[in-house]
Amino acid sequence: MYYVGIDLGGTNIAAGLVDDNGNILQKDSLPTLADRGYKAIVEDMSVLCEKLTSAQGISMKQVKSIGIGSPGLCDAKNGVVIFAANLFFENVPVRDELSRYYDMPIYLENDATCAIAGEIVSGAAQGCKDAIIITLGTGVGSGIIINGKIFTGAFSGGGEIGHIVIEVGGEMCTCGQPGCFEAYASASALIRDAKLTAVRNPKTKILTLADNDINKINAKIVFDANYLGDADAEKLVDRYIDYLAIGLTNVVNIFQPEIIVVGGGISREGEKLLVPLRKRIHPFGTKKLITKIATSELGNDAGIVGSALVFKMQV
Amino acid sequence: MYYVGIDLGGTNIAAGLVDDNGNILQKDSLPTLADRGYKAIVEDMSVLCEKLTSAQGISMKQVKSIGIGSPGLCDAKNGVVIFAANLFFENVPVRDELSRYYDMPIYLENDATCAIAGEIVSGAAQGCKDAIIITLGTGVGSGIIINGKIFTGAFSGGGEIGHIVIEVGGEMCTCGQPGCFEAYASASALIRDAKLTAVRNPKTKILTLADNDINKINAKIVFDANYLGDADAEKLVDRYIDYLAIGLTNVVNIFQPEIIVVGGGISREGEKLLVPLRKRIHPFGTKKLITKIATSELGNDAGIVGSALVFKMQV
């Protein structure tokens, strides 16, 4: 059986032809160009569908369903993106629009929800029924599967782990609330703090690695400077892992899933990040960390595999 | 149909004979006397069962099942209390022990889980499928029902809303971790802060209302002094509601349930507590508070009704 998975991002529309086991048979992408409006974006989704199938010598008539993973708040039931800041989407009927091109089941879910679905199908969370992904990127995204089913709260607005307050009156979050987990554990938060450090100490290796251009500082550079023994970077990474551990402690105490998959750019640090992280997570009760902590295995492909097959986990 | 519900507390064992609609037909209790060990406590549960049924002119043979609500960490599947500090219980096989007296289905669940089950059957959350209770007492307890089913995580150790860190490096919690929600929103936290205030300002009305005995300060006194216009008490209550609102914001952003039921002693403040509380909850995304915030309707009876009928919500 064939399925199409479309990972709609702020920069690219990535799509893939996927089989029942989560293998990507064909992959392609087009730039999103978000400011052109949703109709042109959805039209390009159909262009991708045609390219994927013709490259495999089949037609869209042989495809069973299309799944779309979108950033932001999604109304899966009605196939509407309620709000997605970086797409300039507000109440956009993505499913209905794509239905103009194809008469087949079309599903819409949040991109992080799709990512954890992908990891369950063929990645780090394979076979798990209770799994959560935390993506560490521009923001902190989260996708939650409980007992094999997608969890987004009673009205599709829950599951926002990035917006759990972990420090009352703390750093301002992009959501307008101070102290959210995202304001400490996103790559953006680490970059913000590294820039503050670079202003205070222009001799830090962080700045050297960024060609002495404060605007070129990224999360990888901070980790690299840390591995090179730079004292400022060590302090930043240490503090970053502290906060990340607090957030994951909360996830464990709330959900106690079988696995937490860490995704997003920062997850590429792998075990160098996970080893100290696991030690700093403090589960309530038995105190023993039963939940497995792992990094994403599928990376960017998780979104394609997951959006194609996430319908199997819908409530 | 008849069911027995047993609410096992640190002070009393309360029990009731309950019908399918959650009506308590007969109620009774005995002191727990926790230090005598679990066998004597379970024996007294059977004494209560006999008293309840004979008072109604029936026998235990006409009872369909017995449910027990226990504080602490419960292994519902095996009927074992894994850990309950105020009962001195560690891996206590409560179900097997009560099975020595009765050959019928016996269920065990956490007491807060039972309380929300009771509120769903015949209290503030009647008819809800996604409901959470937060009990504000010695600690902050939580019971979670998602899609009509009990939620305690993949290994029975989740759902610990009281132990979500809301202030990194903050007030020490009884669980050994600093900054937990419980360390700010429990009645004990309010009493702790009121005592600190009373030491600093012995003229506060809080102390007057406590017969000038700092050890007599309780949560109700702090609220009463606030209503009387005492500046110290106003500050304490204001801060308390601030922290409570942060915790409930987290609950809304994570679970977005249909209703959050506020229980425990402090919930008796009713709308005087809830009106400012609702205003300070900041949901992510749509920003609109869809989740209903209400106080417990059944009070202490929630535990009896809920333990009797909670089996209907088991996964």
Dist. CA B53–CA B102, nearest whole Å: 13
Run of H or E including A12: strand A12-18
The pLDDT, as a whole number, for residue B313 is: 96
Nearest-angstrom CA–CA distance, A239 and A244: 9
Q: Where are the beta strands (DSSP E) in chain B?
A: 2-8, 12-18, 24-31, 63-70, 73-75, 80-84, 89-92, 106-110, 131-136, 140-146, 149-150, 259-263, 292-295
pLDDT at B289 over 90: yes
Distance from CA of B58 to the nearest CA of A (A): 40
How do strand A131-136 and strand A140-146 relate by DSSP bridges? antiparallel
Band the pLDDT of B83: cuts 50, 70, 90.
confident
Q: Quick check: B106 and B66 in contact, CB under 8 A?
A: yes
Tens digit of pLDDT at every position of chain A (315 positions): 999 999 999 899 999 999 999 999 999 999 999 999 999 999 999 999 999 999 999 999 999 999 999 998 899 999 999 988 889 999 999 999 999 999 999 999 999 999 999 999 999 999 999 999 999 998 999 999 999 999 998 888 889 999 999 999 999 998 899 999 999 999 999 999 999 999 999 999 999 999 999 999 999 999 999 999 999 999 999 999 999 999 999 999 999 999 999 999 999 999 999 999 999 999 987 678 999 999 999 999 999 999 999 999 998
Interface test with A, best of B140, B147, B156, B165 (most A CBs within 10 A): B165
Query: Alpha carbon of B304 to those of A26, A159, B49, B105, B117: distances in Å?
Result: 58, 31, 13, 17, 10
Q: How far is B31 from chain A (nearest CA, A)?
A: 26
Contact B285, A90 (CB under 8 A): no
Give the pair of three-digit tokens for residue A74. Answer: 């999604």
Any B CB within 8 A of A153 CB: yes
Q: For chain A, say whether B155 makes contact (Cβ under 8 Å).
A: yes
What pLDDT shows up at residue A7? 97
pLDDT at position B291: 97
Q: Do A257 and B286 touch (CB under 8 A)?
A: no
User: How many CA atoms within 13 Å lie on the side-chain side of A157?
Assistant: 21
Does B83 contact A286 at a Cβ distance shorter than 8 Å?
yes
Q: Residue B142's closest chain A neighbor by CA?
A: A254
Check CB contact of B129 with chain A, cutoff 8 Å: yes
Q: What is the mean pLDDT of chain B?
A: 96
Residue with tokens 């102390």: B207
CB B134 within 8 A of CB B247: yes
Is the pLDDT at B141 greater than 90, yes or no?
yes
Residues B172-216: pLDDT tens digits?
A: 998 899 999 999 999 999 999 999 999 999 999 999 999 999 999
* Nearest residue on chain B to A242, alpha-carbon basis: B168
Check CB contact under 8 Å for B155 and A290.
Answer: yes
The reported pLDDT for the residue numbered A304 is 98
Q: In angstroms, what CA-CA distances link B116 with B132, B230, B297?
A: 6, 35, 11
Q: In the structure, what pLDDT confidence band is assigned to residue B154 with cuts at 50, 70 and 90?
A: confident
**What confidence tens digit (pLDDT) does each residue in B210-246 have?**
999 999 999 999 999 999 999 999 999 999 999 999 9
pTM: 0.92
Residues 49-108 of A with CB under 8 A from B: 73, 82-83
Mean pLDDT, rounded, for B267-287: 92
Provide the pairing of β-strand A73-75 with A80-84.
Answer: antiparallel
What's the confidence (pLDDT) of residue B309?
Answer: 98
Query: Nearest 10 degrees: CA dihedral of A199, A203, A204, A206?
Result: 80
Residue B287 has pLDDT above 80, yes or no: no
Q: What is the distance in angstroms between the Cα of B164 and the nearest Cα belonging to chain A?
A: 5
CB of A255 less than 8 A from some CB of B: yes
Q: What burial class does residue B147 get, using C-beta atoms within 10 Å of its C-beta: 0-12 exposed, 13-18 middle, 19+ buried?
A: middle
Q: Å from B261 to nearest chain A CA?
A: 15
Judge: A168–B246 Cβ closer than 8 Å, yes or no: yes
- Are the CB atoms for B137 and B220 separated by under 8 Å? no
Q: Which residue in chain B is spatially nearest to A290 when comparing CA positions?
A: B155
Other C-beta atoms closer than 10 Å to the C-beta of A180 total 32
